[in-house]
Structure 1
Amino acid sequence: MSAGGGSAYTVREAVAEGDREACFAVRREVFVVEQGVLQEVEYDTYDATAVHVLAVREDGVPLGTGRLLFGADATGRTGADATVGSLGRLAVNKAARGLGVGAALVRAIEDAARERGLAAVDLHAQTHALGFYERLGYEAYGPEFPDADMPHRAMRRAL
């Protein structure tokens, strides 16, 4: 994959030493610093069991991250349907936006969901990002609601 300027990047599950810290650093930059989300809201107990994905440049610089909740962890957001995963905490560093990193992260999360036998993925999208997710096949449902003091809509895509 290319991140512009000839710089390639890869997207992988965050399993190597240091990957989780890289994921959290991207989230801190995007959500806490840039968007003003409280740190105690951004990080939660689900981080311990979530599947995290990480986009990194070929020189090791982290570009973006996201996570998948499923099973008992996802039921708080998606209802009692154990076949539906929850995509969340999708964040791409400002310098890497518009280069396809976000879409690659979403596809990697969907692949992780399929590997775990899930039939669909739900997410809570900031309303300004609805078009991004719609282009990736997600459909909004239900009313707008606040999350971390920002307007969101629920969205779902069957896998």
Structure 2
Amino acid sequence: MTDVQIRIADWHRDNADLRRIRESVFIHEQGVSPEQEWDSDDATATHFLAYEGDFAIGTARLLSDGCIGRVSVLKDWRGLHIGEKLMMAAVEEAERLGLKQQFLTAQVHAASFYERLGFTPISDEFLEAGIPHLEMLRNSK
């Protein structure tokens, strides 16, 4: 594997890559409906893309209130710390914007991943898109 780079993406210019990754992970693999996946927040969110060379392999988004979401890495690139790099880019951007808290809804199976990044569960389990989730919070230092 070559070096993976993370950059802030533009929703309009990078739309094909953002959609390709999220459709593959959330809609095709996890069975999330397109109506649940695509929302009006995409147009105003800060999006991140992970690249291996010039091929986009992962994405995440940050909302103006500090909510991080839509963290997704294509199947063939999982286990290579790309999700961690995407999350750290989102956290760093949130902090740069003065957002002292970041929060997310984590799929329960991924909660320990987010805990390693400083997020703490703040809710009981609930279903979102038919998948068990937890709300999690991180306070900036």
- TM-score, normalised via structure 2 length: 0.94
1:115 aligns with 2:99: no
Distance 1:110 1:135 in 2: 13
Aligned equivalent of 2:110, options 113, 123, 129: 129
Q: Deviations over 1:117-154 (max 9, x none)?
A: 10010000000001111111110011111111111000
| DSSP 3-state at the match of 1:131 | helix
What is the percent sequence identity of the aligned residues?
A: 41
Equivalenced residue count is 140
| DSSP 3-state at the match of 1:118 | coil
CA contact (8 A) 1:20 1:52 kept: no
Aligned equivalent of 2:61, options 61, 67, 86: 67
Partner of 2:39: 44
Structure 1 segments unaligned to the other structure (5+ residues)? 75-84
Distance 1:21 1:51 in 2: 16
CA contact (8 A) 1:120 1:156 kept: yes
Q: Deviations over 1:40-81 (max 9, x none)?
A: 1100000000000000111x11110000011xxx4xxxxxxx
Distance 1:35 1:16 in 2: 23
Partner of 2:87: 106
CA contact (8 A) 1:139 1:156 kept: yes
CA contact (8 A) 1:144 1:153 kept: yes
1:148 aligns with 2:129: yes
CA contact (8 A) 1:126 1:150 kept: yes
What letter matches 1:139 in structure 2? T
Distance 2:32 2:112 in 1: 22
Q: CA deviation at 1:20?
A: 2.8
CA contact (8 A) 2:57 2:73 kept: yes
Partner of 1:89: 70
Structure 2 segments unaligned to the other structure (5+ residues)? none
Aligned equivalent of 2:18, options 23, 32, 53: 23
- TM-score, normalised via structure 1 length: 0.84
RMSD after superposition: 1.3
